[in-house]
Structure 1
């Protein structure tokens, strides 16, 4: 009988492998992360531009813990008056269009121009495990090392289309920390764009040519929201296809009604790889801001967005209180089981739950 050969990965007897992480170091890290930092210290740190304080505050903002919510509200209230003027830019595009590579090239261009850039990247969460990779810092390895840039990946959780639930408050904290350019990257699955559009000043749609994307990409809703359509990956053999796609998108844009801002959307080509067209995109954004500030649209849109997010917060708080109500928590599973067994219609079950909630 043939003897099995020992694996090359087999541990040699008598030789103890070192621990991959020191137990003492791991304990210190856990203790440091769990330490309850005073609210006043976090606020002063944010206003001083301390990234650690900013990150801790954003973690509180994103937390679903009711105790953290109260602390987060105190921080936001204190920082609101210190939020500095910024440009809020939303960037979207289908997966594979090169959003992260573009944002890194664009961010490096901005920091080289003296800007302080915060990138709020929303990663999709698994509907099964609810986990998220949060890999944007890995993809933007040059920008993450830039002292004038801050990258904050956040899990989308259960929010519509993948926009992190507290992105709006995170923007305010970044502005209070001194960041003058806020970039929000959407998941790019087609539903999050509306929510992002309601929190930014300028909306950039990234597209690629030569992938059957031209006609498929001319969707009325997303095209109407875009202030600029940028054909990315316009380099090498793809330059001609990108130029053709630019012409097709230009024709499509002229079919849409005029924007309230008075701005005529533009189609540009760029390459995040060679950095061609990056400067032109920033110049176009500056042109857009000058035009909309001059005609009053910029300020009016900011005011509308504030009202919109006030109502969204009310809706969110009502929903949270409903599901955390002990009476509803006790009845919910019974109602779900009754609906599953077809003993009760979904609408009757919902009405019953709401009635119990309002009586409690």
Structure 2
């Protein structure tokens, strides 16, 4: 029997060359060794005080950690940094999605670093209520500012915090101030939730708006308008300039209907085009006028003292909540009573009362 000749087909695979190892075992060992060596609290603080952004990032990660074993070290870092903090101005910026917050903050930040200021941006990204994930894409959107030596951008996930402020943003401010940043910008999620949290940790509250999108009537409503120290109508360029000027007039009228602020400041309205950098200098001029007035009449320090008191009670509330859910024996009872509530065997209020009694009796 004669053997049939072998033909190569499109599916035939020739023996290839063995690929070399794509990694180095020694390099992996060195990286693993370095990762295991965590800096002490004193080393982190020393790096922060020397202006080391890597140390700052590691400290913020430590502070944001939900691991109970990290709490003592994080508290130690905060306490050592506290005497070097409180030497900055804190500006909160909010606005609905699509208003151009990231573009505005980059243009605003570049203007500030151009005048010699050091800017830290704490950008809070929304977390998914289903997967609990977050994109954290602000460094990508602010591609020019992120390369600036006098700027630092730290995106954080909002988690389940109302108002779009990360759980530990307040502590991150202290760390950034100790690192030498004299202007702290906090960008909120801006999804229509309560902005009380960010208002209670900043000196100046800036509200971004856009014209021609049915936004004027919503903006005239009470609430966030009463908290704003400045309303900036963004995207005032091209065919939108006329609409922006009209919106400015309408917002100015609305602001005069609200009660006077305790600071004595009359909120203002201005327009800008962040993409063209038009009007950015005017925004900083208005912010500077506010700080000059607030420091002159001592409202600036009084507000800081009031905020510290507020965050004392907020921290107590947070620690009590964390202690409840992590207390041994509470988790199985919670699941048991959840099922009873779902089956209408027990009211939510009675179940909560029982669980709290169990917690406080331990």
Interval containing the TM-score (normalised by the shorter chain) = over 0.9
Structure 1 segment 337-356 matched on structure 2, within 5 A = 337-356=339-358
The structural deviation recorded for 1:193 is 1.5
- Aligned pairs for 1:163-182 within 5 A: 163-182=165-184
For 1:305 and 1:280, locate their aligned partners in 2 and report how far apart those are by CA, in whole Å.
28
Give the alignment of 1:133-282 within 5 angstroms: 133-282=135-284
1:54 corresponds in structure 2 to: 56
Q: CA deviation at 1:32?
A: 3.7
Give the equivalent residue in structure 2 for 1:100. Answer: 102
Q: Secondary structure at the match of 1:273?
A: coil
Q: How many residues align?
A: 354
> Are residues 1:302 and 2:314 paired?
no
Contact persistence 1:339–1:345 (CA under 8 A): yes
Q: CA deviation at 1:337?
A: 1.1
Residue 50 of structure 1, CA deviation = 0.6
Instruction: Give the Cα–Cα distance (whole angstroms) in 2 for the partners of residues 130 and 352 of structure 1.
Output: 29
- SS class of match (2:336): helix
SS in 2 for 1:160: coil
| Correspondence for 1:323 | 325
- RMSD between aligned residues: 2.1
Counterpart CA distance in 1 for 2:19 and 2:74 is: 44
After TM superposition, give the deviation of residue 169 of structure 1 in Å. 0.5
1:206-257 superposed Cα distances (whole Å, 9 cap, x missing partner): 0001111111222211000000000000111111110011011111111111
Aligned partners of 1:91 and 1:184 also within 8 Å: yes
Q: 1:327·1:356 contact (CA, 8 Å) conserved in 2? A: no
Moved more, 345-354 or 334-343: 334-343
Partner of 1:79: 81
2 CA distance for matches of 1:237 and 1:332? Answer: 57
1:175-204 Cα deviation digits (max 9, x unpaired): 000000000000001225110000000000
Partner of residue 314, structure 1: 316
The alignment partner of 2:124 has SS state of: strand
Structure 1 pair 337/117, CA: closer, same or farther in 2 (3 Å)? same
C-alpha contact 1:93 1:207 (8 A) present in aligned 2 = yes
Q: Distance in 2 between matches of 1:155 and 1:164?
A: 6
- Please say which structure displays the higher CA radius of gyration: 2
Deviation per CA, 1:252-277: give whole Å up to 9, x if none.
11111111111000000001011111
CA distance in 1, matches of 2:108, 2:74: 31
Q: Give 5+ residue unaligned stretches, structure 2.
A: 1-8
SS in 2 for 1:307: helix
Moved more, 113-122 or 327-336: 327-336
CA distance in 1, matches of 2:55, 2:169: 17
Query: Deviations along 1:273-293, whole A, 9 cap, x unmatched?
Result: 111110011010110011111
TM-aligned CA distance change 1:354 to 1:84, over 3 Å: closer
Tell me, yes or no, if the aligned pair for 2:91 and 2:184 is still in contact at 8 Å: yes
Q: Does the aligned pair in 1 maintain the 2:161–2:167 contact within 8 Å? A: yes
Q: Relative to 1, partners in 2 of residues 1:357 and 1:244: Cα closer, same or farther, differing over 3 Å?
A: same
Unpaired segments of 5 or more residues in structure 1? none
Change (3 A) 1:12 1:300: farther
Distance 1:166 1:253 in 2: 32
1:333 aligns with 2:335: yes
Partner of 1:37: 39
2-side partners of 1:222 and 1:21: how far apart? 54
CA distance in structure 2 between the aligned counterparts of 1:29 and 1:243, rounded to whole angstroms: 57
Residues 341 and 84 of structure 1, relative CA distance in 2, 3 Å threshold: closer
